[in-house]
């Protein structure tokens, strides 16, 4: 039996992104680890992520973006969370975040500067997200 951690995580793909396989794998892994999932599905606006986080008293928002347009789609998200009273919500972002020739060592800092707590490449194993969430949410 899976331990109930009593923590809700809002998940989905952002903006025009229709790629759902990665976030479905993460959702499955998180459920198996005991998290409650509020899945927003594909093509979710920043505002809808925030609304769901407020309605569910979520501990974190996990955004997936595989289209390569995250620099545009994710801009200003932390500020909108703060304005909505979610100043301390944990924000994760993962996937194929940029197009072009940027290396991961160039890509990750772009999104950390935008206010995401953690940023993952498309090669990150789902178990790492569980480990990081437990750490960032103070769960033993």
Residues forming the active site: 17, 19
Cβ contacts of residue 31 below 8 Å, gap of 6+? Answer: 2, 37
Rounded CA gap, 78 and 115, in Å? 5
Q: Are 135 and 92 within 8 A, CB to CB?
A: no
Rounded CA gap, 19 and 12, in Å? 10
In order of 25, 35, 81, 84, 109, the CA distances from 115 in angstroms are: 24, 23, 10, 15, 10
């Amino acid at each position: 039996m899976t331990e109930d951690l009593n923590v809700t995580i809002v998940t989905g793909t952002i903006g025009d992104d229709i790629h759902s396989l990665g976030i479905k794998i993460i959702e499955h892994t998180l459920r198996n680890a005991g998290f409650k999932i509020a899945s927003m599905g594909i093509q979710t606006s920043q505002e809808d992520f925030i609304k769901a986080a407020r309605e569910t008293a979520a501990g974190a928002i996990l955004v997936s973006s595989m289209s390569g347009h995250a620099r545009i789609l994710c801009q200003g998200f932390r500020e909108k969370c703060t304005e909505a009273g979610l100043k301390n919500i944990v924000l994760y972002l993962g996937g194929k975040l940029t197009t072009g020739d940027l290396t991961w060592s160039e890509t990750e800092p772009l999104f950390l500067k935008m206010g995401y707590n953690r940023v993952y490449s498309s090669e990150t194993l789902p178990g790492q997200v569980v480990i990081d969430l437990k750490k960032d949410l103070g769960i033993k």
